[in-house]
Structure 1
Amino acid sequence: MLDRLPLSTRLAAAIPSGVNLSCYHISTQPVPSAALFSPVPSQPDQATTCESHFLAISSPEDGEKKELLIFAVEILIFATPTLTFIFVSKADSSGFSSRLPSPKNAPSIVATVTSTFIDFLLDSRLHNQKVVVSLFARAQNQYLFPGSSDNSGKHVLDDRQLIKWWSRVLDRTMRHHHHDPAQTSKVVAHLVVPGCDQAETKAFFPPATRQNPISEPKWFSSYPVDLLVQDASQPPRFLIPRLPDDPKARFLDDLDNDFIDNQGQWRSVKSLRDFWEMMSYRQECSAGRLVGFIWMIFSRGQASRLSRPPANQAAPQLTTPEASQVQETLGTEPQLMPGQQVSTTAGLKSPPPSSPVQDSFVDSQNTDDTGLLDSNSFGSEIGTDLAFERDAIESTKGQVVVNTDQYDQLMDFMLQTDFTGEDLAAESTRGWINKILEISKASTIGYQIRGESIVGDSLKPGAGTSIPPPVNVLTNIRKKRKADQEDRTSKPAVNEQTSLPVTVNTLATSLVRKKPKT
């Protein structure tokens, strides 16, 4: 089965033939984390766990060419009793993708690796009642590779291009599972761009949405509140997840510091519509760049709710002039960044830890000396099927599994490197790999991938997309040829009944009078 294939097999089947690369997959065990949603008054926090996954790909050494990191993506997986939340935290390219000899007309290797990695983490968790893949897309020069913005080969996508790119990547994952007869989950996607109304937001939908019948749309320009929470009538404070390094979470914290009454209601924001309208004025959403929030929801037994947008939720209609004025910045390599901004190399500082782990949530009776959850207590902590959860965690773990402190050390080390130019990038790549070996005490790390996908042939399982391009079939339409027109003008008119030429009377120019003007 596809969901049992290891990541190396999936990547090999997805990467074009002739492309070789090295992969490094690091993960953590699930640990207790802060709740995704604020609890309603008089109710405790919902038990939540978080595990981190980091995947980096590099061009292998080839003669005098040293190994260089090409692309990296970080994904956090939150588990609650009612929800599995897969959050794409950060993604970035270093500007050296030209080192990978991708065949002409082949799909983007960065997009292929991203969608394949999401599928790998998603497939074994679709047994849960509800699974959400979420991210926010905000264009910046660099996120994970300091100094990479100075590389001439790096193509920094602008805000609109980045939102459309992520929409296509997630749509590829959606259609891959939608057309799989073995999957019983229903899947839809929602997109919100603060400052854009519904019509403007639809311009960011992937082109493949044109294939969907009008009666069964797959993309909606609204916030999927009915699909994320059980009671959508609560104040907005309890309806929006708090994710790390997310503009929504920072806005929620600011509103909490302003005023909260006994019912959990804010003073200035009374509804979700108000929340998204106010988001369009936030600096992160109004500083001349658009920000896209995307949710892809897999849900079982909710076909009627998934077939239409939420009845009580409308997309924000407010459009700010600052958000609509976008500066175009084009280059040569895609930069894909849904997370927090990283400053330039000079004075670079580490952002807050990617995994929002709080030691106060750790029960000493259920943890070992590394702070990890005891596997025997994991299922009872989040209220899910223990066997399925153990299988999902085991089948998707990285080649190296570290604890959260070690993981944060690796992320901090990455943010202190320098990827300006090939020499510094090669030195930083080697230093980061050695840091993994030092922290994990592993003897080796990484594995080689040899592409097997043949460009132009039918896609193999795990290739990240299984939907062929649409074919437009036009019937009973015949283009008029120039030769036909010439034949008609050169041949004399013939009476079809007598087969005799028809005499055409032509009046002389002197006999034609124009009607006088009145």
Structure 2
Amino acid sequence: MSALDTVVKALNTLCPPRPLTVHLLQSEPRRTNTLYTHLAAHPKGTTIQDVLLVLYIHLEPADLSSSPSPITAADDDAASQSCATKSGVEHTTTSSTNPIALISIQAQIFILPREAHTMVYISKADSTGYTLPSSLPSRPYARTIISSFLSYYLCPQSRPTPTVQVHLFARSQRQYLFPDSGLDPEETEGKIKKILSGGALCRWWSDVLERSIKLAGLGPSEVDLECFLPGLSKGETLNTLGRRTEFTWSTDLKNVPHPLHNQAPNPSSVIPTLASTIPTFDDDPRTRFLLELSTPGAGTGSSSLLSSNSALPSLPSASASSITSSSTTPNASGQPKNAMDKDEGEDNDDEEVSNKALAARTIASARLSTIPQDEFYERLAFRQECSLGSQVGFFILSTLSSSPLPSTSASATLVFTPISVPTTMESHTQPKRRPGELPKNLFIRLLSMLLNQSFSSNPLVISSSKIIWDSIRGLTGEWGALEYVERSIESSSSLTTDDETNSKRKRSDADGDSALVGRDVSKGTLQPVTVLQVRKKKKKADS
């Protein structure tokens, strides 16, 4: 079962009042050395994969003229009830329905094959705020798709590696993925998008993470939950998250399992530093603060090797060097020449760039090694993006490995033991693209198309959703990936013949019909059904 199938299975339990469609776009995994930007020796073979999930609801023309009812990302849990509907895998909808985007999430999947570890970073989650008709009951769509998506990577049967971590930074904003969706009601022609406060959003995310654990079939002893709400004490943090009866949350990020240490043969020989314990993600305050702390002369006005507006230099990858060895480059006369015939000066230039990048990372790692983790988070709480405005929160969910790596002698050198990984994680080649995975350029094109639309009003949500819908189906169809990125869910009103028969039978039972009969399938005749009743004792005849 894929991640898309897991999401669809969870949505089926909501009894959707109208048909739904899910688009799950995944880029082909590619090598990266930016997960631990400040380490001189980056984990080898690390790959990154971009993910974009969009949920649509198909409304009929009559629904568009009905009285509105606002939809939010955090719907009432009471609407989450079980329903025996069937998912449709066909990728067609009736021409009279309008696909309207409701919710989208963007994530990144990092896999460290040598450390047998996967990191899932939820970078953005947003809703269009489209106002659904009041006749349609609300459903917790956002809570369901996010928790089910994460459960796929947490479940022992489907997770890519023995250990998995989920990272996210919760910050309440008007809009993330749907431009203009969070404008004031005066500017949106009546469309009202409910935006949670900072504390309510942190409470919502903690509930989503706990739900994902339950969906994955894990217990409290199999996971580690950490959160850090800057500016709040432990008691205030737990009070903000609300009452938790089953799972226990740590509130300081001090005991987070670190893959570069805990998965090593001899973890006690590794000294944790900020460079090796805090991964660098996009749009993360910790990443920006680490870059500032690792920059020589930061804040003093002196020249520095690293700019505060750019990431640290990237080390050349093995795949890049292998490609260069067989490529051709033009010579001074404009004629192509083999890369093996490059001038000695060109080789020296490449080596010089590599040495500078390595020196920059070494300097950054050395600077960060002098800063204790407690001091880092204490100073982080006073930074403007963490102290001004609504409450923010950092959340980390970690699975605890049940089969640790074998221990080695104390005199052994610190070398991570390679594990058996899929063919997409070979040492010296780029990961192979699996069915349904899109080229990076195509993924960026579709994401940019989403970010260039306007969702300020209900009519614009409808038109922009149609553009996104047609673009995804058209481009992925040309690539031959539509069947892998799209799934449809029938509405609860779409009952099969068997469902209608069962429904009528239940209504008949409710009306007190005592004539219970069954059908002999082989003969097509009705057969009486034996009903067991309490045997009453006969009264003795009067003598």
Q: TM-score range by the shorter chain?
A: 0.5 to 0.7
1:137 aligns with 2:175: no
Whether the aligned pair in 2 keeps the contact of 1:56 and 1:70 (CA below 8 Å) is: yes
- Relative to structure 1, the CA distance from residue 431 to residue 447 in structure 2 (aligned partners, 3 Å threshold; closer, same or farther) is same
Structure 1 partner of 2:196: 157
- State the shift of 1:301 in Å: 2.8
The AA in structure 2 aligned to 1:295 is: I
The AA in structure 2 aligned to 1:426 is: I
Structure 1 partner of 2:278: 240
Whole-angstrom distance in 2 between the partners of 1:5 and 1:429: 20
Whether the aligned pair in 1 keeps the contact of 2:294 and 2:364 (CA below 8 Å) is: no
Structure 1 partner of 2:465: 429
Structure 1 partner of 2:147: 115
Q: Once the two structures are superposed, what CA deviation does each residue of 1:176-227 show, in whole Å capped at 9, x if it has no partner?
A: 33557xxx982121001122222222123353x2245xxxxx3211215551
Structure 1 partner of 2:105: 73
- Relative to structure 1, the CA distance from residue 97 to residue 7 in structure 2 (aligned partners, 3 Å threshold; closer, same or farther) is farther
Structure 2 partner of 1:54: 52
Structure 2 partner of 1:499: none
Whole-angstrom distance in 1 between the partners of 2:212 and 2:58: 28
- Relative to structure 1, the CA distance from residue 252 to residue 442 in structure 2 (aligned partners, 3 Å threshold; closer, same or farther) is same
- Relative to structure 1, the CA distance from residue 406 to residue 4 in structure 2 (aligned partners, 3 Å threshold; closer, same or farther) is closer
Structure 1 partner of 2:122: 88
Whole-angstrom distance in 1 between the partners of 2:377 and 2:169: 14
Structure 1 partner of 2:386: 285
Q: SS where residue 133 of structure 1 aligns?
A: strand
Q: SS where residue 223 of structure 2 aligns?
A: strand
Whether the aligned pair in 1 keeps the contact of 2:275 and 2:365 (CA below 8 Å) is: yes
Structure 1 partner of 2:19: 20
What TM-score do you get using the length of structure 2 for normalisation? 0.59
Q: Once the two structures are superposed, what CA deviation does each residue of 1:299-346 show, in whole Å capped at 9, x if it has no partner?
A: 21389xxxxxxxxxxxxxxxxxxxxxxxxxxxxxxxxxxxxxxxxxxx
1:63 aligns with 2:61: yes
Structure 2 partner of 1:36: 35
Q: Once the two structures are superposed, what CA deviation does each residue of 1:1-21 show, in whole Å capped at 9, x if it has no partner?
A: x77992464134332253422
Q: Once the two structures are superposed, what CA deviation does each residue of 1:442-465 show, in whole Å capped at 9, x if it has no partner?
A: 586743212569xxxxxxxxxxxx
- Relative to structure 1, the CA distance from residue 116 to residue 72 in structure 2 (aligned partners, 3 Å threshold; closer, same or farther) is same
Whether the aligned pair in 1 keeps the contact of 2:16 and 2:491 (CA below 8 Å) is: yes
Whether the aligned pair in 2 keeps the contact of 1:185 and 1:300 (CA below 8 Å) is: no
Identity of aligned residues (%): 22
Whether the aligned pair in 1 keeps the contact of 2:29 and 2:47 (CA below 8 Å) is: yes
The AA in structure 1 aligned to 2:377 is: W
Q: Once the two structures are superposed, what CA deviation does each residue of 1:82-115 show, in whole Å capped at 9, x if it has no partner?
A: 22001111110001163596547xx622211221
Q: SS where residue 165 of structure 1 aligns?
A: helix
Structure 2 partner of 1:222: 252
Instruction: Please list, as runs of the form range in 1=range in 2, the aligned pairs for 1:325-336 lying within 5 A after superposition.
Output: none
Q: SS where residue 45 of structure 2 aligns?
A: coil
1:380 aligns with 2:481: no
Q: Once the two structures are superposed, what CA deviation does each residue of 1:334-393 show, in whole Å capped at 9, x if it has no partner?
A: xxxxxxxxxxxxxxxxxxxxxxxxxxxxxxxxxxxxxxxxx985233399xxxxx99xx9
- State the shift of 1:268 in Å: 11
Structure 2 partner of 1:197: 233
Structure 2 partner of 1:330: none
- State the shift of 1:246 in Å: 1.4
Whole-angstrom distance in 2 between the partners of 1:282 and 1:121: 33
1:210 aligns with 2:245: yes
Q: SS where residue 102 of structure 2 aligns?
A: strand
- Relative to structure 1, the CA distance from residue 92 to residue 267 in structure 2 (aligned partners, 3 Å threshold; closer, same or farther) is closer
Whole-angstrom distance in 2 between the partners of 1:3 and 1:33: 24
- State the shift of 1:175 in Å: 3.0
Q: Once the two structures are superposed, what CA deviation does each residue of 1:50-92 show, in whole Å capped at 9, x if it has no partner?
A: 1122111112141354332111011211000222001111110
Aligned residue pairs, count: 359
- Relative to structure 1, the CA distance from residue 12 to residue 158 in structure 2 (aligned partners, 3 Å threshold; closer, same or farther) is closer
Where does structure 2 lack aligned partners over 5 or more consecutive residues? 65-97, 262-266, 298-359, 405-420, 494-543
- State the shift of 1:276 in Å: 0.6
Whether the aligned pair in 2 keeps the contact of 1:39 and 1:46 (CA below 8 Å) is: no
Whole-angstrom distance in 2 between the partners of 1:40 and 1:255: 14
Q: SS where residue 254 of structure 1 aligns?
A: helix
Whole-angstrom distance in 1 between the partners of 2:273 and 2:172: 31
- State the shift of 1:430 in Å: 1.4
Whether the aligned pair in 2 keeps the contact of 1:280 and 1:286 (CA below 8 Å) is: yes
What TM-score do you get using the length of structure 1 for normalisation? 0.62
Whether the aligned pair in 2 keeps the contact of 1:16 and 1:102 (CA below 8 Å) is: no
Whole-angstrom distance in 2 between the partners of 1:380 and 1:225: 32
- State the shift of 1:155 in Å: 0.5
Whole-angstrom distance in 1 between the partners of 2:228 and 2:148: 24
Structure 1 partner of 2:214: 175
Q: SS where residue 241 of structure 2 aligns?
A: coil
- Relative to structure 1, the CA distance from residue 110 to residue 56 in structure 2 (aligned partners, 3 Å threshold; closer, same or farther) is same
Q: Once the two structures are superposed, what CA deviation does each residue of 1:476-515 show, in whole Å capped at 9, x if it has no partner?
A: xxxxxxxxxxxxxxxxxxxxxxxxxxxxxxxxxxxxxxxx
- State the shift of 1:432 in Å: 1.6
- Relative to structure 1, the CA distance from residue 72 to residue 405 in structure 2 (aligned partners, 3 Å threshold; closer, same or farther) is same
- State the shift of 1:148 in Å: 0.8
Q: SS where residue 108 of structure 2 aligns?
A: strand
Whole-angstrom distance in 2 between the partners of 1:409 and 1:178: 37
